Structure 1
Amino acid sequence: MNSKLYKLMNWPEIEEIIYSDGKDPHRILGAHKVGGSMLVQCFLPEAEKVEVLLRKGTKSRRYEMELADEAGFFAALLPYQKDPHAYLYEVTNQDGTQKTIADPYTFEPGIQREDCIKFTSGIHYSIYEKLGAHPQERDGIQGCSFAIWAPFVARVSVIGSFNHFDGRIHQMREVDPCGIYEIFIPDVGAGEEYCFEIKSKAGDIFRREDPFAFAKSKKNEGCALITNPPEMIWHDEAFLQSRKKVDKAEMPLSICEISPDLFLADRKIAEDDIYLSEALLHLVQENGFNAVEFMPVMEHDDADPYAVTNFFALSSKIGRMEHFMKVIDTLHRNGIRVILDFPATFFSEKNQSLFRANGSPLYEYAEPTKERQPKSGYLTFDFGRKEVVNYLLSCALYWCSLCHVDGLRITDIAKIIYLDYDRPPGGWIPNIYGGNQNLEAEDFVKTLNQTVHKKDSGILMITKETANWPKVTTSAKEGGLGFDYKWNSGWARDFFAYMDNDPLYRSGHHNELVFSLIYHYTEHFLLSFSHEDIGGFSEMLSRMPGDSKQKEAGVRFAIAYLMVHPGRKMIFRGVCEIEADHEKHLRTLMQDLNRLYFEHPALYELDDAEGGFEWINSMAAQECMMSFVRHGKKEEDMLLVVCNMAGIPREFTVGVPRDGKYTEILNTDAREYGGNGLGNGTEVLEVVKREADGREFSIQVKVAASSLLVLRFVPYTAQENKIRLIRHETYVKMEEEQDESREALRKKQEAEEEKLLAELRKKYELEMSRQEESIREKYHKIEAEKIMHVVKASAKKTE
């Protein structure tokens, strides 16, 4: 080796490269000014020979590099060039193949100090634009930037199809003590597979997927794909603006929950296939919903869609990101909201990008009392790390920004905000105040809601919470968590606990049916028959007692009751997409129920106000009956609901709050829904002044077994009121005349009765007198006979 070159070599640092032990390979590799010359060094383990093509203006000169170490470390001392990219490597490999490559170690970091400060503070909401893999142009050269957060490790390399998955070739530099590593590799682009190789401080070497990967490799497990940013021309600006103006407390919301995996199970998505958009739009519109909620669309474990394996990557089962964006754009242009399930409370060990990301707990809690959720075994995110919180916040904003989604549904937060959830005594450690609240998780949930709402106030934040944490849907300023809606899981549980019983035994469970209205106004609730509650139609049908007809009636009643009960609505797709023999009837019912819901403000306008609901009769447990009124802002919007949960048809006298007319606008026993058609039909039910249910007025209604009626209130017109007044006056006059006639008749009857009574009394007295006289005569005769008998007896003795 040239002696001058030899003296310039830093052998300890070279060994650091050869043994892949360094955190700053850019300090050694690449081009570095040495006096008036330029020292160029590279590490190419598979190379037999390396030459440098040095450009100067329009000319170039070739320099052969010297092999400084047999492991593949090459060096050359060249004339200084101000342009750091003024050279290329011509490499001849040991197998005889040749290639020309640019040096990846001549580029400045793409991640700045400010990025690191914001990331470690938990406020870099677009960190996904920095970390991960991003095809881009730097200094006029096309390539790909790679970056990963991996603190407390000895070395990080990016490996992939472009370097034969050799972790020695593209060692990355740590750009900040926070543990972010970065490298820009020229001539690497979309479609290449990659992952990261990490060497722990203990010397263990392992691979990790990219936590910020936008696509997963289908060929190699554990690898991601480099992707170009999706190109999309949106047409939903008017829709996005309109959602900001809607009052979430008063807007109607009817959601169809959809599993993309099930929906696409037997369909093949081609590159130019528009089936997904058309099929989803048809499903939602045909059933009358105004929103869809997708179960996780991220890459996930086949056995559990909530076990997400890549939080930033769209499931390959759905197709490319452009496909999914077009689906959302199509739905938006038809006025349909899109909500995504976002499992931000846990992740699975199968997530090869997050589980022990640096060889030890990093994204998950390290404490055994917090690390796993006891029943599922899933790992809980470490909400005490700002970087982990930043990861989740940026992921939420990524889907909201990139895909224009209208809402996120966070999985059960009770499992993260309670330290003792599902844990036995002694299996958890109290917080610093001695309580059972996970203060870090509580702060994360509040921050998530505030951050998303700050970005766009029209985005809906929804959650499931199963342990009665207070003020879930109250703003953080008022001491709440800041969600817009909360799943009312208790309602579905109590409802089915009632409906599972045979009608003969339901009376003993009546409180379970009416209990929900006691606590309904404590939160902004969303009622659901979700995949967790019922599964598909067949599962729901099987829960109902009785024969097939009774089961179908029970299902119709259940769906209708959900739609008329206060709260927003969500129904799993399995209820809408059903077996052929039931499909037509139930779809017609679903269409009519959604139409009823949207056309009548009483069913949504005052969902969260006590004035929006009024019990008529909640106490008829023995009859398995109940009735109530839904109110809107206008008095004439009132709807009367009558439910018969008994196994037999009934006729009820139902009290009503207002005098007027009532017409049947929905009957779950109608023939078009598969019922028997028992009800009140088109008959106008006029109120009568007869007390019932503590009301002055009432109507008489017929209700089929296991069915629900909705009756619309129609106030009398001025003309009708005049006619009713005339009828009433005529009725009153007739009543008075009838009263007078009845009084005269009464008096006549009384006189006749008195005369008859006098005659009877006279006859009675005469008869009694005769009887008394007869008795006296008989008495005197008997006494005379006795005296004669005594006289005769005395005469005999004398003789």
Structure 2
Amino acid sequence: MALRDTSLPEPSGPAAPTGAVTAAPPLDATDRGRLLAGAHHDPHALLGAHPVPGGIAVRALRPFARAVSVLTGGERHPLASEGDGLFSALLPLETIPAYTLLVEDGVRETADPYRFPPALGELDLHLIAEGRHEQLWRALGAEPMVHEGVAGTRFTVWAPNAQGVRVAGDFSCWDGTAFPMRSLGSSGVWELFLPGIGEGATYKFEIHSRYGQRFLKADPMARRTQEPPETASVVTASHYEWGDAEWLRGRGATPVHEAPFSVYEVHLPSWRPGLSYRELAEELPAYVKDLGFTHVELMPVAEHPYGPSWGYQVTGFYAPTARLGTPDDFRYLVDALHRAGIGVIMDWVPAHFPKDDWALARFDGDPLYEPGDERRATHPDWGTYTFDFARTEVRNFLVANAVYWCEEFHIDGLRVDAVASMLYLDYSRDSGQWEPNVYGGREDLAAMAFLQEMNATVYRRCPGVVTIAEESTAWGGVTRPTDTGGLGFGFKWNMGWMHDSLEYLAKEPVHRKYHHHEMTFSMVYAYSENYVLPISHDEVVHGKQALVSKMPGDWWQRRANVRAYLGFMWAHPGKQLLFMGQEFAQGAEWSEQRGPEWWLTEDGYHSAGDHRGVRDLVRDLNARYLRAPALWQRDTDPAGFRWVAVDAADDNVFAFLRYDRAGTPLLAVSNFSPVVRHGYRLAAGDEVPAWEEVLNTDAARYGGSGVTNPGAVKTEDGHVTLTLPPLATVWLMPYAG
């Protein structure tokens, strides 16, 4: 029984075979050779139906077919074999009729791909050429659609150096011979509409380079991929119905740097190993909400072939990894987080890409996404390629990708990885391995322009979204607006604070007085940028030890140090980020294979209470933080901070005031020595008659010794006298009683 393409209209009558076949005029030998080799720029001029002297010539290229016929007007016209999979006939007609092909390789009836005009408009091509197609994913890639009344998929790809491009997939036994694409001129874009191909089909592009090579490449714009280690692209369309309209309306109501922002960093595949996106949606939002974090930050979810790269070597920039489900499954997870009141930040990696031969590297046989100069193309640290930020289409590919995640997946923020490696031409390079810019400097001007364009475009198109730079140098203006020469990020990770404070905490308390400045230096530059204070995955892997294991002393002291540090961190100007597993003082380094050691907190483990105590503290830190605008409302305003004790090095004590917009203060005092300090006087001023302790990291419920300051603590002569618990941070606010 014949298989029928359901996108086609019902036949008008029985398809009876006609008489003798009249051959169509033969193809020019050169055209024929280029067509069969997959190196022809305009296969539509050779295939399909065309008026010729004596009638209408119809030609099809079907290498696996036993026979091909044309169905039109209730009649079947067999095509003659020309060899090499070519079939043709001359129909005695004056005009090109409505017709379909009956292909006997199954047997199936299908519309002829080569009778359709381009399914990509002139405006799309113009915007691609200009590098300003801000929704590039709607123009390039595989788009299921109805074209000229027929359902199918439009395939488009940018490959300007290719001699020819064909589509190969499961629908063609991975042989691209039957489906050569046409070049759409100087844009470098190739296009083909394939009737009857729909969602779920797997495909790649078969590139014929100008050097005579032929190879298969995954679609750079694929919105879905096969699960690694398989590498094909998958035709997809979203059918997800969002339920987060209220979240989206409210997320930009308060500028993000004046709002609470407490981030839980997650590696989705290992948070609860084995869970899919939808299964994670049943557990992750509830866990994060219970701990009081305002946002999650997801380590890269874009498709990557090598799991131990944690997602930082991306091959599918437009596809959520298939390891955990479909793109709509990922939408479901984001939606669930939003409905729980939790924002979603995603790590985004535009600095580099791996050299896998089926992906972006030398995509059309020449350097395309990477620079042509090998010295600039290869990233010396990671053995990957860097992007050619000076190339219009490459910049467009990345800018549109940032917009894509925000618009299509409702992502609330992009944390941009490895910004420093993009900004400096000499990054990790010795002399002779790089060339100065046109001004003789080491700054990568094209990368600067790209980051400015990306930030400006995202902020314009996606209200309420924030961009965050992982930038580890003293580059000026990372979070300054682009119209004043800045890079335009919303936040910058404060790597200096992180390194200095962890260096201080790693010292035995007796030696800390010699490193006191490492804890105070951050306030010298705290208002030069809008900062996030990160204790990220990078700090708890590769021999750096987990947070609690960095600390000196016995088990009690290590936990006390962590609790004191977290109290200091939450009170310090800047937003905060904590990597999963550190919220309950996991002692082992993070492993992407095992994930957090949840069993440490479970009943039956002998130290479960110790770990749950740290987690209880994190929950209370977030709860108190949310109720204390002094800790977030003026994060970028120097008037929102005042040192109370900045030079108490011999005591290992730090004390400062934070103020909200109304002037209400919060006093934070940290004692990083293992002794109780009784009667400790601090010059907090006369503005508050009496204080009360609202948080104490030494509380017994957190696993501490229970040294507290109960009741009202009065101010006398501008001083407040406290009992400072050992290895602890206390927060005090104006007495409410």
Question: Please, what TM-score do these two structures have when normalized by structure 1?
Answer: 0.84
Deviations 1:224-268 (A, max 9, x none): 1112x211222222221222221223111111111111124133x
1:544 to 551, 570, 573: 551
Q: Does 1:569 align with 2:614?
A: no
The 1:81–1:250 alpha-carbon spacing in structure 2 relative to 1, beyond 3 Å, is farther
Q: Does 1:257 align with 2:304?
A: no
**Deviation at residue 488 of structure 1 after TM alignment:** 0.3
Q: Which runs of 5+ in 1 are unaligned?
A: 690-696, 717-799
**Deviation at residue 645 of structure 1 after TM alignment:** 0.7
Q: Does 1:428 align with 2:434?
A: yes
The 1:9–1:656 alpha-carbon spacing in structure 2 relative to 1, beyond 3 Å, is closer
SS in 2 for 1:605: coil
SS in 2 for 1:495: helix
Deviations 1:172-200 (A, max 9, x none): 11012221111111111111111011111
- Which residue number corresponds to residue 702 of structure 1? 723
In structure 2, C-alpha distance between the alignment counterparts of 1:282 and 1:429, rounded to whole Å: 51
The 1:81–1:230 alpha-carbon spacing in structure 2 relative to 1, beyond 3 Å, is farther
- Which residue number corresponds to residue 66 of structure 1? 80
Deviations 1:65-105 (A, max 9, x none): 1222x212111011337565x22222335xxx533332111
- Which residue number corresponds to residue 291 of structure 1? 295
> Bigger radius of gyration, 1 or 2?
1
SS in 1 for 2:50: strand
The 1:7–1:345 alpha-carbon spacing in structure 2 relative to 1, beyond 3 Å, is closer
Q: Does 1:649 align with 2:685?
A: no
Higher relative contact order (CA 8 A, sep 6+): 2
2:89 to 55, 60, 76: 76
Deviations 1:423-451 (A, max 9, x none): 11222100111111111100000000000
Query: Does the 8 A contact of 1:146 with 1:184 survive in 2?
Result: yes
**Deviation at residue 508 of structure 1 after TM alignment:** 0.8
Query: Does the 8 A contact of 2:478 with 2:489 survive in 1?
Result: yes
Query: Does the 8 A contact of 1:116 with 1:176 survive in 2?
Result: no
SS in 2 for 1:183: strand
Query: Does the 8 A contact of 2:228 with 2:322 survive in 1?
Result: no
Partner amino acid for 1:278?
E
Query: Does the 8 A contact of 1:196 with 1:210 survive in 2?
Result: yes
In structure 1, C-alpha distance between the alignment counterparts of 2:412 and 2:243, rounded to whole Å: 15
In structure 2, C-alpha distance between the alignment counterparts of 1:568 and 1:289, rounded to whole Å: 11
**Deviation at residue 7 of structure 1 after TM alignment:** 4.5
In structure 1, C-alpha distance between the alignment counterparts of 2:547 and 2:262, rounded to whole Å: 19
In structure 2, C-alpha distance between the alignment counterparts of 1:576 and 1:212, rounded to whole Å: 37
- Which residue number corresponds to residue 787 of structure 1? none
Q: Does 1:599 align with 2:631?
A: no
In structure 1, C-alpha distance between the alignment counterparts of 2:574 and 2:190, rounded to whole Å: 48
Query: Does the 8 A contact of 1:17 with 1:43 survive in 2?
Result: no
In structure 2, C-alpha distance between the alignment counterparts of 1:125 and 1:560, rounded to whole Å: 43
Partner amino acid for 2:353?
F
Between stretches 110-119 and 591-600, larger displacement belongs to: 110-119
Q: Does 1:142 align with 2:151?
A: yes
Partner amino acid for 2:731?
V
Query: Does the 8 A contact of 1:244 with 1:456 survive in 2?
Result: no
The 1:351–1:547 alpha-carbon spacing in structure 2 relative to 1, beyond 3 Å, is farther
Partner amino acid for 2:130?
S
**Deviation at residue 8 of structure 1 after TM alignment:** 5.7
SS in 2 for 1:109: coil
Q: Which runs of 5+ in 2 are unaligned?
A: 1-18, 587-599, 602-607
SS in 1 for 2:385: coil
Q: Does 1:509 align with 2:521?
A: no
**Deviation at residue 500 of structure 1 after TM alignment:** 0.5
Q: Does 1:554 align with 2:566?
A: no
Deviations 1:315-367 (A, max 9, x none): 12321222221222222223221111111111112373211111221101121
Query: Does the 8 A contact of 1:42 with 1:73 survive in 2?
Result: yes
- Which residue number corresponds to residue 168 of structure 1? 177
- Which residue number corresponds to residue 247 of structure 1? 255
1:14 to 32, 35, 38: 32
Question: Please, what TM-score do these two structures have when normalized by structure 2?
Answer: 0.91
Query: Does the 8 A contact of 1:31 with 1:40 survive in 2?
Result: yes
The 1:616–1:431 alpha-carbon spacing in structure 2 relative to 1, beyond 3 Å, is same
Partner amino acid for 1:544?
M
Q: Does 1:625 align with 2:653?
A: yes
Partner amino acid for 1:294?
L
Query: Does the 8 A contact of 1:111 with 1:175 survive in 2?
Result: no
- Which residue number corresponds to residue 67 of structure 2? 49
In structure 1, C-alpha distance between the alignment counterparts of 2:95 and 2:649, rounded to whole Å: 90
In structure 1, C-alpha distance between the alignment counterparts of 2:246 and 2:94, rounded to whole Å: 54
- Which residue number corresponds to residue 337 of structure 2? 331
Partner amino acid for 1:122?
G
- Which residue number corresponds to residue 38 of structure 1? 56
Q: What are the residue-to-residue correspondences of 1:339-378 with 2, within 5 Å? A: 339-350=345-356, 352-378=358-384
In structure 2, C-alpha distance between the alignment counterparts of 1:562 and 1:533, rounded to whole Å: 15
> What value does the CA root-mean-square deviation take over the aligned residues?
2.1
Deviations 1:727-760 (A, max 9, x none): xxxxxxxxxxxxxxxxxxxxxxxxxxxxxxxxxx
SS in 2 for 1:640: strand
**Deviation at residue 274 of structure 1 after TM alignment:** 4.5
Q: Does 1:87 align with 2:79?
A: no
In structure 2, C-alpha distance between the alignment counterparts of 1:436 and 1:50, rounded to whole Å: 62
- Which residue number corresponds to residue 695 of structure 2? 666
- Which residue number corresponds to residue 205 of structure 1? 214
In structure 2, C-alpha distance between the alignment counterparts of 1:21 and 1:205, rounded to whole Å: 9
Deviations 1:480-539 (A, max 9, x none): 111111000110100011000111111111111110000001001111111112359971
- Which residue number corresponds to residue 276 of structure 1? 280
- Which residue number corresponds to residue 310 of structure 1? 316
SS in 2 for 1:556: helix
- Which residue number corresponds to residue 184 of structure 1? 193
In structure 1, C-alpha distance between the alignment counterparts of 2:661 and 2:472, rounded to whole Å: 32
Partner amino acid for 2:100?
L
SS in 1 for 2:620: helix
Query: Does the 8 A contact of 1:113 with 1:176 survive in 2?
Result: no
In structure 2, C-alpha distance between the alignment counterparts of 1:708 and 1:440, rounded to whole Å: 45
**Deviation at residue 34 of structure 1 after TM alignment:** 2.0
SS in 1 for 2:393: helix
- Which residue number corresponds to residue 771 of structure 1? none
- Which residue number corresponds to residue 13 of structure 2? none
Deviations 1:105-129 (A, max 9, x none): 1111112332222112110111211
SS in 2 for 1:687: strand
In structure 2, C-alpha distance between the alignment counterparts of 1:11 and 1:113, rounded to whole Å: 32
The 1:286–1:625 alpha-carbon spacing in structure 2 relative to 1, beyond 3 Å, is same
- Which residue number corresponds to residue 711 of structure 1? 732
Query: Does the 8 A contact of 1:213 with 1:312 survive in 2?
Result: yes
In structure 1, C-alpha distance between the alignment counterparts of 2:655 and 2:229, rounded to whole Å: 60
- State the number of aligned residues: 693
- Which residue number corresponds to residue 744 of structure 1? none
Deviations 1:670-726 (A, max 9, x none): 00101010121x23111222xxxxxxx21221112211111112389xxxxxxxxxx
SS in 1 for 2:546: helix
In structure 2, C-alpha distance between the alignment counterparts of 1:515 and 1:254, rounded to whole Å: 23
1:688 to 706, 716, 727: 716
In structure 2, C-alpha distance between the alignment counterparts of 1:298 and 1:377, rounded to whole Å: 19
The 1:325–1:3 alpha-carbon spacing in structure 2 relative to 1, beyond 3 Å, is closer
Deviations 1:538-592 (A, max 9, x none): 7111100000000010111111111000001111122235521133211210111
SS in 1 for 2:669: strand
- Which residue number corresponds to residue 596 of structure 2? none
SS in 1 for 2:67: strand
SS in 1 for 2:193: strand
In structure 2, C-alpha distance between the alignment counterparts of 1:82 and 1:265, rounded to whole Å: 62
Higher helix fraction: Structure 1 or Structure 2?
1
